[in-house]
Amino acid sequence: MSVYLNTAASQFNGIVQYTTLGVIQSMILAAGKPVFAKLADVLGRAATLTLSVLLFTIGTITIAASNGIGGLAAGMVFFSMGNTGLSFVLQLVVADLTSPRWRCTITNVLTVHFVINFGIASKITNALVPENWRWGVGMFTIINPCVTAPIIGVLVWQQIQSVRQGVIHKYPYEGMGFLRSFRAFIIDIDLAGLFCFAGGFLLLLLPLTIADAAPRGYQSGYIIAMFVLGACLLLAWPLVELRAPRPMVRIREFFANPDVIVPSAILFVDQFSVALTMTAAYQWVEITHGWSTGNATYFLYTQSLCLVVFGIAAGLAATYTGRYKRLSIAGACIRIIGLGVMMKYRGSHASAFQVVIPQVLMGLGGGLMTANVAVVAQAAVPHEVLSIVTGFTMLVLELGAAIGAAVVGAVQQTLRGSLHHYLDPITGGNATVVDIIYAQGSGAMADYPLGTPIRDATVHAWTNNMHQLIIGAITLAAVNLLTCVVLPDHELKDKQQNNVEEGRVGVLPPIAARPEQRSTLQVA
C-alpha cells in the first residue's frame, strides 16, 4: 500500500503534501486505538471487526478512484481508520485467549505472513506501478472482506453462545432508551478526552509539515494559532481524563505503573526513531541508486522482514525462558549499531550490500527489543482493563510514528533550499527544475539518468537530508537503550490471563453493574 500511495502522490504532484497526509494517517492510527478499545468493550469484538473491515473497504475504493491529492487524502482517512481497527481487534483477541508467556510467541507468529508478502509484494508492485497502481489498491477491496469473514463468523458465534448462557447482554445499553444510550456511548468512548488528545497533537504536528507553504512560514497567523490551540488542548487533556467517568487513558493508574509506562515509552521512542529513517527511504534509494520499483520495495521492507523473523525468535525465547529484559537490551544495542552503519552508507558511493545491511541490523535490533514489551504491559493489569491497556500501548506506538513523520516533513522542507544550493549553479537558477523535483521526487528523475549533473546534484541534496534524519534517529536509539535498562523484569506467567490475578485463560470478566457501563465484551 505504501508503494501505491507514494506512486499516487507523485502522479498528483503531491510528494511533499503526502508527508502531511502521513502525519494525519499516523494520528488516526494512534487516536483510533483507544476508540476501538472502547468499541470492542461496548459493541463486542465481532461488531468492531466488522466496522473496521467496512471502513477499510471504503478507504481502498476511494483511493483507487481518486483523481487528485484531495481524493487520495479522503481515502487514506477511511483506510487508516479501518486498518487501525483491524490490527487492534486481532491483537485483542489474541490477548483474550492466551497467557502472557504464550502470548509472546503467538502475537509475533501472527505476523509471519509478511515473509510471504516480502517475496511477492515487489513483483506485484513492479507489474502495476506506475500505470496500474489503482488495481493494486483495489484488489484489497475484494481480498480483505473475504479473508476476515471467517474470523468475524467465529466471533459472532461466540457472542451468540454467550448471550444464550446469560453471560453478556444481547445488545449494548439494553433497555436504556436512545438518549441514555447515546449519552452512555459518548461517555464510554471518552469523546472529550479523545478530542483534546488527538486534536492537540494534530494541531502541533501539522504546522511542521505545512509551514513551508505558508505566506510567512512559521510567522504566519494560522500557523501560530494552530500551535497555540494545540498546546491548550494538550494541557487540558490530563484534566479532562482525571475527571472523566470512563477515561480513555487512566492517567493515575497507568503512569504510576512502570510495567505499563516503560514498555509504552520503548514503543514510542522506537517508532519515532524508525519513522525518521523509513519515511524518506523509498524516495532516497530510487533517486540515489536508480533502483526499480521492485528493488526499492525489497529494500524498503527488508527491515520489516527482519523485524518479523527476529520478533518471532524473540517471542519463542521469551516463551521458553519466561524472561524478556535481556532480549530488549540486546536489541537496543544492535539498533544503535545499525544506525551507525546506516549513517556511513547512506550515500551514492555505497554498494547494494552496504545499502541493505543497515536495514537487516535495524530489523534484528527492533525484533529483539520490542517483540515482547506490549505483552509486559498487558500482563500488568486485570483482564477487565486489558483492552484499554492494549489501546494505550498501541496509541503511544502510533503517536511516536506520527511525531516522527511530522519531524521528517519539517526537515524535508529544507530540501528546497538544498536543491537550489546544488542545482542553481547547473541550471542557471532555473526555479522550475527545482520545483518539479521537489514536488515529484523520484518521479521527476526519468529525464535525468544517473551520472548526469542534475541527477548528481539531486542525489547530494537528498543524501544531506537523510543524514540529518539519521542523526536524530541515533539520538533516540540511545535514549531507548536507557529505557530498556530500567524495564522491569518479571517472570511471565503461564496458564493465567495475566500476571496480577489468578483468573484462568478464557474466563469472562463480570458484567458491569451500572447500566451505562454494560458491555458485550467477548472472550472465548
238 plus 290 within the same structural domain: no
Render pLDDT for 326-339 as a digit per residue (tens, 0 to 9). 999 999 999 999 99
- Taking the C-alpha atoms of residue 361 and residue 331, their distance in angstroms, rounded to an integer, is 9
Residue 413 buriedness (CB in 10 A; 0-12 / 13-18 / 19+): buried
Flag whether 523 is in a domain. Answer: no
For position 34, what pLDDT does the model report? Answer: 79
319 plus 461 within the same structural domain: yes
Q: What dihedral do alpha carbons 54, 59, 65, 69 form, nearest 10°?
A: 160
For position 139, what pLDDT does the model report? Answer: 94
Of 292 and 476, which is predicted with more confidence?
476
Is residue 449 pLDDT above 90, yes or no? no
Flag whether 155 is in a domain. Answer: yes
- What is the rounded average pLDDT of the residues 472-485? 94
Which is it for the CA torsion 69, 70, 72, 73, positive or negative? positive
According to DSSP, residue 513 is labeled S
- What is the total count of domains within the chain? 2
Render pLDDT for 96-136 as a digit per residue (tens, 0 to 9). 888 888 888 998 888 888 888 888 887 888 889 888 999 99
Is residue 238 pLDDT above 50, yes or no? yes
Closest CA to 94 of 506, 408, 452: 506
- What is the rounded average pLDDT of the residues 350-363? 93
422 plus 276 within the same structural domain: yes
159 plus 185 within the same structural domain: no
| Average model confidence (pLDDT) across the chain | 85
Whole-number Cα distances in Å, 216 to 206, 229, 411, 509: 16, 19, 17, 56
Q: Are 206 and 264 in contact (CB under 8 A)?
A: no
C-alpha cell read off for 247 = 477515561
C-alpha cell read off for 268 = 514510542
Flag whether 173 is in a domain. Answer: no
- Taking the C-alpha atoms of residue 493 and residue 450, their distance in angstroms, rounded to an integer, is 57
- What is the rounded average pLDDT of the residues 452-458? 90
Q: What dihedral do alpha carbons 18, 23, 29, 31 form, nearest 10°?
A: -150
Is residue 247 pLDDT above 50, yes or no? yes
For position 119, what pLDDT does the model report? Answer: 83
Closest CA to 41 of 328, 383, 340, 373: 383
- What is the rounded average pLDDT of the residues 342-355? 90
Position 496 confidence tier, pLDDT thresholds 50, 70, 90: low
Portion of the chain with pLDDT greater than 70, in percent: 94
- Taking the C-alpha atoms of residue 51 and residue 495, their distance in angstroms, rounded to an integer, is 32
Show which of 216, 248, 280 is a domain's final residue: 248
Is residue 26 pLDDT above 90, yes or no? no
Domain residues for the domain of 28 are 2-164+249-489
